[in-house]
Amino acid sequence: MQDVRNEREYREWVEAKVTHSQSILVEELLKRGILSIEDVINIYDEEEEEYREVFEWWIVDSWLLDALEREGKPVLRSKYGAWWGRTTTGQNRRHDDVLQRIYRRELKEGRRRESREE
C-alpha cells in the first residue's frame, strides 16, 4: 500500500471482509464426509493438473467470496456456511496478493463511480 492512510484503510477492509478462521471446523466437516472436497470450487488447478492444498479456511463476506471465486481461488459454499480456502500460510492475510488485487480493483471502481456521479 502506498501510504499510512491507505494501509490503515486496507487493514480495516481486510478485517471487515475476512472475519474468522474456521479451519478446524471445515477440516472436521470434510473428514466426517459432511462436506466433500469435490464441493470446493477452484480446488483443482488445471495448469498444474493437481489439487490445490488449502492451509486455512476463512469466513468472508459474500461479495468477497464471489470476487475470490472469480480470481480462481478455492471457495466452499454449503448449507453450513461459506469459506475461502487460503492456499498460503505463515503471514497475515492482509499480505495475500489476491486480497490486495481485489481491494485495489474495488478502490478504482469506487473512484470511477464517484467521478461519474459528480
Q: Look at residue 65 and tell me if it is in a domain.
A: yes
Contact 93, 23 (CB under 8 A): no
The dihedral built from the CA positions of residue 94, 20, 41 and 56, taken in this order, carries a sign that is: positive
Residue 117: inside a domain, yes or no?
no
Q: Which of 114, 25, 38 is nearest to 76 (CA)?
A: 38
Inside any domain, residue 118? no
Taking only the tens place, the pLDDT of each residue in 71-98 is 999 999 999 999 999 999 999 999 999 9
Average pLDDT over residues 45-65: 93
Query: How many domains in the chain?
Result: 1
pLDDT tens for 2-48 read 555 688 999 999 999 999 999 999 999 999 999 999 999 999 888 88
Query: Residue 49 is which amino acid?
Result: E
pTM: 0.84
Structural domain harbouring 8: 4-112
